[in-house]
Amino acid sequence: MALSNTQYNEIMHEYEIIQQENRADLEKRREYVYEHVPGYKELADSISKISVEFEISRLNGKKTDSAFLHDKLEDIRARQRILLHDAGLSENYLLPKYNCPDCKDTGYIGNKKCHCFNQRVVSMLYAQSHLQVLTRENNFKKLTEAYYTGEHLDHFRKAKQISINFIKNFDSTYQNLLFHGTVGTGKSFLSICIAKEVLDRGHSVVYYSSCDLFRKLTDFYYDFNKKTELANLCENIYNCELLIIDDLGTEISNAFVLAQLFTICNERELLKRSTIISTNLSLKEIQNRYHDRIFSRLAKNFQLLRLSGPDIRMQMAKKQN
């Protein structure tokens, strides 16, 4: 699971809070029983007294019969259960309660992370990715060939298969994808489909539209009071396991933006962190806009996938009307 130390500690702190709350709840139930079920507290005290006396005798070298102790304690517990039943309470009323019975709210089963821990990781990664809302509507279950024909369908099928392989080999292979082509042909949709699958496998994904990403970088870079925010943003976009830059070409283009894009590509190449870029620009337009230094990196390090055809959003709108 892709967690920073801070994120891991945050999850473990959640477990500590859950444990404290459940201990407090158990103590309230115990106080209720002691107050409203006559004789129960005396039986509980006798269990403690008998156990202590048995242990002292054992430590003093006296011969002890553990089976006799077990039977004696079980008899007391049976009487306690009867008292609870007569008071209209479950015999399990004073047993600890857990949000996750499997790990008893520790996050671990032995040395292995519990399923509830892994789910917390996924939820945290979703929150970090900016994709909670987008992945509800953009996923492989809703991916369809219905809007493609001819060579457009061939392009789509190729992109879909490569996307599936990207997900399948994500743990073992460093790879980058660049979806390019005309407006409304499913580039962003396919990128988010991939992001959902990668997130659900517990990997860190960060998603930005190109416009938002470079606006944030510009704002933070030129504001002295935002140096911490700038450092955190760079940490995320350089080190996350999958970075998605959507709609490249919609940002304001200037020397700063070009330098930042080059740095992002370079840093992630050095770290072998996967990147997906989508753009409505043609390859020639990418080369003209971002110059050879950036274009050559994209052409060398990214698998270039063209999606084409009529605007799917327009087709859907026509069907609805």
- Is 92 buried (19+), middle (13-18) or exposed (0-12) by CB count in 10 A? exposed
Q: How confident is the model at residue 275 (pLDDT cuts 50, 70, 90)?
A: very high
- Is 310 buried (19+), middle (13-18) or exposed (0-12) by CB count in 10 A? middle
Q: How confident is the model at residue 2 (pLDDT cuts 50, 70, 90)?
A: low
CB-facing half-sphere around the CA of 272: CA atoms within 13 A: 5
Q: Looking at the predicted structure, is the pLDDT value of residue 158 above 80? A: yes
The pLDDT mean for the chain works out to 90
For 197-233, the DSSP string reads HHHHTT--EEEEEHHHHHHHHHHHHT-GGGHHHHHHH
| For the chain, percent of residues with pLDDT exceeding 70 | 98
Measured distance CA(213)–CA(130) in Å, rounded: 12
Q: Looking at the predicted structure, is the pLDDT value of residue 124 above 90? A: no
Q: Looking at the predicted structure, is the pLDDT value of residue 17 above 50? A: yes
* Region of poorest pLDDT, from 4-8, 146-150, 156-160, 263-267: 4-8
Q: Looking at the predicted structure, is the pLDDT value of residue 321 above 80? A: no
The pair phi, psi for residue 56, each rounded to 5°, is -65, -40
- How far does Cα 306 stand from its chain's mean position? 30
Identity of the amino acid at 193? C
Q: How confident is the model at residue 103 (pLDDT cuts 50, 70, 90)?
A: very high
Mean pLDDT of 106-112: 93
Helix ranges (H only) for the chain are 5-36, 40-59, 66-86, 115-129, 134-137, 150-168, 187-200, 210-221, 227-239, 255-271, 283-301, 312-320
> For the whole model, what pTM was predicted?
0.71
Block residue for tokens 């753009």: 279
CA neighbor of 18 nearest in space, from 117, 88, 112, 91? 117
